[in-house]
Amino acid sequence: MFDDMVEVIGEENVLQVVTDNASNYVKAGRNTLKSAIFMNGYIYNHVAIVNMMRRFTNQRNLHRPTITRFAASFITLAQMHKQKNNLRKMITSPEWNNTTWSKDPTGKRLTSIILQERFWRNIVYVLKLT
């Protein structure tokens, strides 16, 4: 589509192309933040999962996000991004699979989020945009 437009206008007349994806970014950011808040809350509501997470992340914590506190949300997303591989190792480990949480619907939701490539791509989008 862009090629056709450039041909019509003439390549020498095109300085830049501007698109509006703001609504897509807002939607991706909002869904990503909701998933991150869920993930963080689920982990921190279970002491055993917190301890397991700390073993897999070399004693690192995930910051606690809130919807109204932008900086806390940004820091949490950045920390989750840094710990992506460790969180994935935890959620696919025999240690996790032997817990009741791995079979619980909410625990399965946590597993699904952590294993979703789209979730991690959206985190990168949000971090780049902010």
Examine residue 9 and state whether it is found in any structural domain, yes or no.
Answer: no
- Is 97 among the domain residues? yes
Q: What percent of the chain clears pLDDT 70, i.e. is strictly above it?
A: 82
Domain assignment present for residue 78? The answer is: yes
- Which residue blocks in 10-130 are alpha helix, DSSP H? 22-44, 47-56, 70-82, 84-91, 94-97, 105-115, 117-129
Q: Is the residue at 17 inside a domain?
A: no
Q: What is the CA radius of gyration of the chain?
A: 19
Domain range for 49: 23-129
92-106 tens-digit pLDDT: 999 999 999 999 999
Which pLDDT score is estimated for 19? 60
In a domain, 105, yes or no: yes
The Cα–Cα gap between 64 and 46 comes to 14
Q: Is the pLDDT of residue 27 over 70?
A: no
Distance CA 14, CA 90 (A): 50
Does a structural domain hold residue 40? yes
If one counts the domains in the chain, the total is 1
pLDDT above 90: percentage of residues in the chain: 51
User: How crowded is residue 74: how many other Cβ atoms within 10 Å of its Cβ?
Assistant: 16
For 60, half-sphere exposure in the C-beta direction (CA atoms, 13 angstrom radius) is 15
Q: Is residue 13 part of a domain?
A: no
Position 2 in a domain: no
Q: Which of 17-26, 30-39, 66-75, 119-128 has the lowest mean pLDDT?
A: 17-26
Residue 67 pLDDT > 60: no
